[in-house]
Amino acid sequence: LFRQKGYAGSSTRELAQLLGVQKATLYHHIRSKEDLLFEISMNSLRDITSAVTAATEAAGRPEDRLQAMIDAHMRVALRDQDMHITMLIELRALSPERHAQVLAGRDEYERLVRGVIKREQAAGRLRTDISAANLTLSLLNLLNWTIFWFKPEGNQSAAELADILSSVFLDGTRQQGKT
């Protein structure tokens, strides 16, 4: 619901109706509407961070790490699109403290990705004429906006899409003889 109508645009009435209960019943399970948003956001970050960490560590050869990371990110992100979109754009509705917590989680994830990118640069497999920070931002751009338009019922699977995006990014950033 938050994804469809936005956090502020969703009322507790609609939320309750969607769950088939009365408004008051909601408040037995959650403390406030904002609590719900906060939990969604933290779950999103936890899911994606842990999945990507696991996939990276499980990658056999070091040179497969980046690809494994992209695959894991896309698989998780496209499995729970609603949750991740909500985290990405509705965090502004949170209280300052919680807003900061979510931002900290995102920063941590970004550092995780940047770490892998830095290692690949150091290993000579990734171009170094663009900083690790900028490569990280480019990669996250490529992955994050996908969540907004991807239709699971479409004719393209998440895995296929991950391959395409990997290919665009990796070919564009590989260290090789270039001008």
Residues 4, 18, 23, 157: which binds DNA (CB under 7 A)? Answer: 23
Binding segment for DNA among 15-23, 44-52, 67-75, 78-86 (CB under 7 A)?
15-23
Q: Does 113 bind a second copy (CB under 8 A)?
A: no
Give φ, ψ of 130 to 5 degrees. Answer: -115, 135
Convert 128-141 to b/e letters by CB count within 10 Å (16 or more is b).
eeeebeebbeebbe
The 127-156 site mask, x for binding a second copy (CB under 8 A), equals x--x---xx-xx-xxxxxxx-xx-------
Least distance to a second copy, CB of residue 34, Å: 12
Q: Does 18 bind a second copy (CB under 8 A)?
A: no
Residues making up the chain, counted from first to last: 179
170 burial level (CB within 10 Å; 0-12, 13-18, 19+): middle
Closest to 44 in 3D by CA, of 16, 3, 5: 3
Could you say which residues in the range 29-48 bind DNA, by CB under 7 A? 29, 31-34
Centre a 10 Å sphere on the Cβ of residue 25 and count the other Cβ atoms it contains: 11
Q: Does 92 bind a second copy (CB under 8 A)?
A: yes
Residues near DNA, by CB under 7 A: 10-14, 20-25, 27-29, 31-34
